[in-house]
């Protein structure tokens, strides 16, 4: 009997990925079906549906599920779920598809899945805007009623993604045929929930924390992981290896940085590195909830939530991603609740007077005594060839990042938000 937290939804791991003869037969059938071109985000969602990362989902959401998730943080059946998982298609494609039809979902020439269409529903501009306001609008300066739509279309990648969707959504269960190039490109890093759970079991872990990463691991991330190691059996350093926004550092570089840190600064028995195949949505508090939801499927029961988790720009309050966990619905059925709890950690930094890493809860000094650490600030300094302050990152990691930026032919301007710059610190 496993001591790990059970998968979300009360149905065990729901894995839609086919294998063996069943896979070969479905691949052959897929070639005869109408092909719908999907986005990178939908591709990542499909792979998560395939490996059980999105349990208990077995396909893309109906309109009732979509509306309930946006409005109530639950599927139509009452199961907690924080972010829509939908598959868009053009009006022309939707008009040629009937409910009950089977279709093939294709990305860049590869068929990733087949889907039996249970519903098709139009997404008007008003529907998309409503979704954006529910999912991406926070409590930060950029989310003010008189400002959100003036800046979001230019500055919020998640809003751009939703507003750029085609005119209809298709719902229905899927049969996943491919994990793309993740198993080969990130061999040893890309791991399924089944594989990660087996690693936890082998080590005898039952109280496990996850550290979400989309930026290179700096001293603050290292500190967060080590705090969690002190109070849990171990930590999963879990990096996003899907698509990011322009200017973010690619996964292979980040993985190399984490490898270096684990080699030199961690007790290896207490930490596991892995990657997952989603694209970032930059949904701040809602995405923090999504991170906890699918981490539960990986066997994680504590999600590290620090400052401005999964945020972008100044759309979210500094600790809004922590506070939202206190307001989510608690379904009567325990299987339908979110069981992965937040491990809330205050703003962390290096303090010269404390002579070490500290947080707002432990350091009595002023921000002038502190090195404000953030992935955005690090990327901006490296992209501009600026000097990196002492204690910002480990020398071995900074050497990897400098090498990456020195060989970069196209550079993207990195915008600083209040939290990343340290201006928001009192």
Sign of the C-alpha dihedral computed for residues 183, 184, 188 and 190 taken in this order: negative
* Whether residue 21 lies in the annotated active site: no
Residue of 41, 197, 214, 295 marked active site = 214
3-state secondary structure of 80: strand
Residue burial 155-174, b: 16+ Cβ < 10 Å; e: rest: bbbbbebbeebbbbbbbbbb
With bands split at pLDDT 50, 70 and 90, how would you rate the model's confidence at 415?
A: low
Q: What are the extents of the domains in the chain? A: 20-180, 183-280+346-421
pLDDT tens column, 244-272:
777 788 899 999 999 999 999 999 999 99
Q: Both tokens of residue 12? A: 């065990």
The domain made up of 183-280+346-421 is a member of CATH 3.30.750.24? no
Q: What is the pLDDT of residues 81-95, one digit of tens each?
A: 999 999 999 999 999
Tell me the pLDDT tens digit for each residue of 55-67: 999 999 999 999 9
Q: Which stretch of DSSP H or E encloses residue 194? A: helix 193-203
Catalytic residue among 41, 197, 215, 281: 215
- The pLDDT value given to residue 417: 56
Pairing of strands 119-122, 356-359: unpaired
Q: Structure tokens of 128?
A: 């998309």
Tell me yes or no: is domain 20-180 CATH 1.20.1630.10. no
d(CA 46, CA 408): 31
Pairing mode, strands 302-305 and 208-213: parallel
What is the Cα–Cα distance from 30 to 112, expressed in whole angstroms? Answer: 10
User: Is residue 214 among the annotated active site residues?
Assistant: yes
CA pair distance 74, 206, nearest whole angstrom: 27
Token pair listed for 21 = 């003869």
Residue whose C-alpha is closest to residue 102's, from 165, 15, 172: 172
The position carrying tokens 């494609």 is 93
What is the predicted pLDDT for the residue at 40? 96
pTM above 0.85, yes or no: yes
What DSSP string runs through 382-397?
Answer: HHTTPPPPTTSS-HHH
pLDDT given for residue 362 in this prediction: 96
pLDDT, tens digit, 9 for 90 and up, residues 110-129: 999 999 999 999 999 999 99
Q: How do residues 118-174 score in pLDDT, each as one tens digit?
A: 999 999 999 999 999 999 999 999 999 999 999 999 999 999 999 999 999 999 999
């Amino acid at each position: 009997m496993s001591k790990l937290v059970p998968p979300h939804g009360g149905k065990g791991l729901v894995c839609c990925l086919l294998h063996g003869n069943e896979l070969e037969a479905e691949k052959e059938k897929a070639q005869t079906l109408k092909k719908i071109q999907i986005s990178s985000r939908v591709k990542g969602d499909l792979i998560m549906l395939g490996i059980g990362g999105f349990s208990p989902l077995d396909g893309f959401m109906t309109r009732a599920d979509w509306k309930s998730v946006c409005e109530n943080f639950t599927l139509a059946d009452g199961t907690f779920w924080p972010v829509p998982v939908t598959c868009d298609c053009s009006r022309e494609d939707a008009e040629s598809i009937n409910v009950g039809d089977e279709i093939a979902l294709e990305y860049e020439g590869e068929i990733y899945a087949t889907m039996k269409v249970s519903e098709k529903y139009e997404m008007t501009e008003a529907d998309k805007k409503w979704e954006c306001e529910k999912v991406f609008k926070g409590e930060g300066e950029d989310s003010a009623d008189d400002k959100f739509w003036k800046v979001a279309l230019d500055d919020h990648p998640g809003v751009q993604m939703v507003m750029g969707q085609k005119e209809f959504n298709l719902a229905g269960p899927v049969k996943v045929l491919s994990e793309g190039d993740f198993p080969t490109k990130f061999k040893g890093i890309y791991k399924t929930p089944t594989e990660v759970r087996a690693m936890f079991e082998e080590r005898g872990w039952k109280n496990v924390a996850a550290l979400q990463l989309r930026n290179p691991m700096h001293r603050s991330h290292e500190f967060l992981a080590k705090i969690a190691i002190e109070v849990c059996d171990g930590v999963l350093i879990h990096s996003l290896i899907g698509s990011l926004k322009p200017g973010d550092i690619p996964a292979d570089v980040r993985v190399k940085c984490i490898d270096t840190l684990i080699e030199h600064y961690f007790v290896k028995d207490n930490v596991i590195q892995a990657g997952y195949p989603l694209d970032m949505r930059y949904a701040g508090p809602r995405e923090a909830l999504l991170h906890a939801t699918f981490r539960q499927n990986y066997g994680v029961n504590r999600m590290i939530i620090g400052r401005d988790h999964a945020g972008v720009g100044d759309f979210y309050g500094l600790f809004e991603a922590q506070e939202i966990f206190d307001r989510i619905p608690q379904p009567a059925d325990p299987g339908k609740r979110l069981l992965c709890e937040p491990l809330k950690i205050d703003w962390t930094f290096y303090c010269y007077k404390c002579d070490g890493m500290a947080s707002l809860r432990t350091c009595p000094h002023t921000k002038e005594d502190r090195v404000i650490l953030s992935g955005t600030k690090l990327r901006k300094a490296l992209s501009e060839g600026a000097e990196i302050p002492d204690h910002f990152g480990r020398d071995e990691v900074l050497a990897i990042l400098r090498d990456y930026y020195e060989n970069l032919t196209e550079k993207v301007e990195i915008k600083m938000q209040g939290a990343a710059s340290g201006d928001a610190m009192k």
